[in-house]
Amino acid sequence: MSAPLPFRLMGVVNVTPDSFSDGGLFLRPDAAVAHGQKLADEGAAIIDVGGESTRPGALPVIAEEERLRVVPVVERLVRAGCPAQISVDTSKVSVAEPALTAGATFVNDVTAFRAEPELAGLVADRRADCALMHMLGEPRTMQDAPRYENVVDEVRAFLEERLEFAVREGIAEERILLDPGIGFGKTVEHNLELLRHLDRLCTLGRPLLVGTSRKSFLGRLATRDGRRPPPPPEGRLPGTIATCVLALERGAQVFRVHDVGPVHDALAVAGATLTARWARTTTRIQTS
């Protein structure tokens, strides 16, 4: 019997017209549900359904529109018996509540309960899991010359404070994941510094969720020699895999990705290597 894998994948289902990598592809519920099922079949342990883009410069979506995008997809995934845990990617109580009623058991809040603090109480009451993410500012302004004295120390302090808040609001600590927010109010250098020092964030004692998938800094890193244009989002899989493998080595446990199958395979190999799961075969050398 094989040992469990040392990671979980969160597959992305964007029910939006304007997400940076796949906006509009899964706006129809049929398409979103089919995509969620496909990601689960490829190895996603969590399916994250979101109805509001959080790309840099994204405009806000009113709660009713977000609810109409998200809740039917959650309902149908649950009804279809999707084997993955269903997550709702929202910071709004009026979206999270019907999604949880429809069968979601995870709330992924990019504001870490700052936008609507009462969302923490809802998560506690429903005994749901949650992810709390660091973001400098909000999507429309977060990439306007972000600055830190020490990005690792500041992100760690923020996550520690939000973890304490969530626990005070009644959420069991074992239900909380922490996300450093790669690409959310960070420069390329900030992102790299956080990835180098994820082990320092692991000392907070909660699983780290890392989301580098298809992000623009990967394209910029791949073309710093200037000899070719940056790849489009769907061309950033090599960078996604590289950063996920490095993050796994530094202690991250959950990975939010668009390309579940290839990342799953890469992390399975990396995880087996890092944990010495494969039996070693030695060859005896006969001497006369």
Q: In what order do the strands lie in the sheet with 106-109?
A: 176-179, 129-133, 106-109, 85-89, 46-50, 8-14, 254-257, 209-210
Residue 127: active-site member: no
CB 9 within 8 A of CB 264: yes
- Pick the catalytic residue from 55, 92, 215, 250: 215
Say how far apart CA 211 and CA 191 lie, in whole Å. 11
Cα 87 to Cα 98: distance, rounded to the nearest angstrom: 12
Q: How far apart (Å, rounded) are the C-alpha atoms in residues 221 and 111?
A: 27
Among 256, 277, 280, 284, the active-site one is: 256
CA–CA gap between residue 77 and residue 2 (Å, rounded): 28
On whether the CB atoms of residues 182 and 215 are closer than 8 A, the answer is yes
Alpha carbon separation from 84 to 1, 20, 43, 165 (Å, rounded): 22, 24, 9, 28
Q: Which two three-digit tokens encode residue 95?
A: 């979206």
State the burial class of residue 145 (Cβ atoms within 10 Å of its Cβ: 0-12, 13-18, 19+): exposed
Q: What are all long-range contacts of 60-66, with beta carbons under 8 Å and residues at least 24 apart?
A: 60/140, 61/16, 63/92, 63/94, 63/95, 64/94, 66/90, 66/92, 66/95
**Nearest alpha-carbon partner for 109 in 64, 154, 163:** 163
Q: Which residue has the tokens 């490829």?
A: 42
- In the residue annotation, 256 being an active-site residue is answered as yes
Residues acting as catalytic residues: 215, 256
